[in-house]
Amino acid sequence: MLAEIAATPLQFDTPLAGELFLLGRIVFGATLAFMGLNHFMDLETMAGYAEFKGLPAPQFSVIASGAVLVLGGLGVAAGAFPVVAAGGLALFLLVSAVTMHDFWSMDDPEEKQNEMTSFLKNVYGAGAALALLAVGGTAWPYAVGLGLF
């Protein structure tokens, strides 16, 4: 039975499926793109936090991660280069969850809770990006249709 499910192609022929998929992409992608813009609008503060967390080249790291979030988020929302966009977001979210939100090393309960919340946010975002990556090679409804695959 599992083999049958895995072999079933992605279909958007149920009522509103394509529209809901588009809405989900927009909500997910636009939220991440907005978060990426914050990397540029609050560069000094975020670079200071990255330095505090021990990241090498903190300012470059913040700029690069902001670019991944903006471009990946817009790519998912628009359906442009979906494999690259979703893959980049998934990788960034997983790596940043572990490197930036290490709640397990915090002593202060409030700081630990804040880091755990951010860690979990990144992990569930990575899960959504991985789900989009899994269907990135299929035709997405209401997409601009640019892609490598």
Residue-wise pLDDT tens digits, 2-45: 555 555 667 788 899 999 999 999 999 999 999 999 999 999 99
- Alpha-carbon gap, residue 133 to 59, rounded angstroms: 29
Question: Hunting for tokens 């755990």 — which residue is that?
Answer: 116
Residue-wise pLDDT tens digits, 42-79: 999 999 999 999 999 999 999 999 999 999 999 999 99
Q: Could you give the C-alpha distances from 4 to 7, 8, 9, 120, in angstroms and in order? A: 5, 6, 10, 32
> What pTM, to 2 d.p., does this model score?
0.90
